[in-house]
Amino acid sequence: MPARQTPDSHLGRVPVGIGLRRGELMKQIEAQRPDVDFLEVAPENWIRFGGPVRDRFVSLLEDYPLYTHGLSLSIGGPAPLDMGFVDEVAGFLDEYRPELYSEHLSFCSDNAHLYDLMPIPFTEEAIDHVVARIDTVQQRLGRQLVLENVSYYTPVAATMDEQAFILEILERADCGLLLDVNNVFVNSVNHGYDPYAFIDAMPAERVRYLHVAGHHQVEPDLIIDSHGAPVSDPVWDLLEHTYRHVGPVPTLLERDFDIPPLDELMDEVNQIRRTAERALGSKAA
């Protein structure tokens, strides 16, 4: 069993992780102890588990650092923040001490859970609303919140573009950015903008974390963000460009559906590493 790594265990290498999913993937990770630099979980999927499942989780954390990526905060939602849920997350973070806590710059609930990540209107009023809620969450958690740019298919009542919306929130809320490279590419095709210019506009000092994933091409001008396929060649190219802009930022290979055997996931993990090495040279070697 390998010694527990830290994100910079391999000096200069970009830390690359995979998502921990209960079931067959978890069994493979337990048995093979793959050469990844961290595991990522959604806190709400693990908060209430005890007994053998918790013991297995704790055992894995003896070998791997933990990153967290939530699903249910609904930072842009119209309903009041669920502070009971925020306190549960705070307890999870205090117990397991992950490297960071990330969430989605979206909303997923109003008077009930919507079971999807809905886009926030790109307006000044929405920015005021979201910034206040980020401040509340960061104060309660006692840590910086890291928010992900999300894929969306129809802008809602927009008075500005996505880039301006994200930049103003980052600055005013003093939060971090989870830059999802696949989402940038998906949105660039669906909404007709330059993904490279979008990446370059993101403040490198705010980028705490990267995600890369696969998608489903429906039409030449329509892509669905599926997280259920291998990473595409255009996204690999955009990831290489992203490393040149932001440096050796920890990166998750995101796969939520049609998860292949661990060996196939590791092929993509290693491709992420090679992509970083090309972009950063000796810094990532």
- Per residue in 222-234, pLDDT (tens digit) is 787 776 789 999 9
Q: Count the helices and strands in the chain (H runs, E runs).
A: 9, 12
pLDDT greater than 90 at residue 117: no
Q: Cα 103 from chain centroid?
A: 7
- Is this prediction's pTM over 0.85? yes
- Mean pLDDT for the stretch of residues 198-206: 98
| Residue whose structure tokens are 């990532």 | 284
Q: Are 177 and 207 in contact (CB under 8 A)?
A: yes
pLDDT in tens, 23-62: 999 999 999 999 999 999 999 999 988 899 999 999 999 9
Neighbouring CB atoms inside 10 A of 76's CB total 24
Amino acid letter for position 131: V
220 or 280, higher pLDDT: 280
Record the tokens describing residue 223, joined without a space.
């892509």
Dist CA 249 CA 113 (whole Å):
32
Give, in order, the Cα–Cα distances in Å from 229 to each of 152, 192, 221, 232: 18, 23, 18, 8
Q: What's the rounded mean pLDDT across residues 166-184?
A: 98
CATH number of 16-283: 3.20.20.150
Model confidence over 239-249: pLDDT tens digits?
A: 999 999 999 99
Please check whether residue 20 is in contact with residue 69, taking contact to mean a CB–CB distance below 8 angstroms. Answer: no
Arithmetic mean of pLDDT over the chain: 90
Long-range residue pairs from 50-56, CB within 8 A, at least 24 positions apart, any chain: 53/22, 56/26, 56/30
268 vs 29: CA distance, rounded Å? 15
pLDDT band at 113 (very low <50, low <70, confident <90, very high): very low
- In this prediction, what percent of the chain has a pLDDT beyond 70? 91
- Angle value at C-alpha 110, between 106 and 111, nearest 5 degrees: 160
Rounded mean pLDDT of 165-177? 98
